Structure 1
Amino acid sequence: MLHNPEDYPDPEEFKPERFIKDGKLDPNVRDPLTLAFGFGRRICPGRHLSSGSLFMMVASVLHTLDIHPVTGNNGEKFDPSSEVITGLISAPERVPCTLTARSTNAERLIQQSSPC
């Protein structure tokens, strides 16, 4: 259902921008969460835990790290791979980027939370 071309044009393409219009979430695009966790009597009981965990993970990365695109010797930027890994979660195969700690405090937070 999340690959319906009427709801999501080019459903096999990784296009996160399809949900944004004029810098804001486009209310005319169906929210994938209405289908992703099921519905009715068979809705996933862990959907709120999953959404909250994902939010916290993304917020932690954005709080502690600067994310920059990788540039070549001539200064050209490398675009994310158009190849997509499919399965339980779809994602681009490669997203060339560099991650750097935003500060010494952020670096300390990263090191303290690391399982290694």
Structure 2
Amino acid sequence: MLSFLVRAIGLWFMAGAIVAVVVDGMKSIAAGRLVLTPAAKLWFDLSPGTLAAAQSWVQKHLGAFAWDPLAQAALALPSWALLVAIGAVFVWLGSLRRRRREDVAYEA
């Protein structure tokens, strides 16, 4: 049941990536040039309070180095790329199977 939930969350992230690709595509066609929305801008547009809260949490618990070069580099990626990466991790985690005791017993 939990693995289904984790996979479903991953698929929602991937669906969000498809929406982000379509939005960037429409913006690119309208502008006549390639337009890629950074993940930080998307996050800020959707929920600026959670972005600020995430920044303060990361800086407090993981250190300023974890936010300034690392998290900002990830948030500078196109929003669709980051959503695909997060979604793929969730789908992969949800597809991992725990080895049952019977399988371990047969190997011994």
TM-score, length basis structure 1: 0.24
TM-score, length basis structure 2: 0.25
Q: Which has the higher contact order (CA 8 A, sep 6+)?
A: 2
Which of the pair is proportionally richer in helix?
2
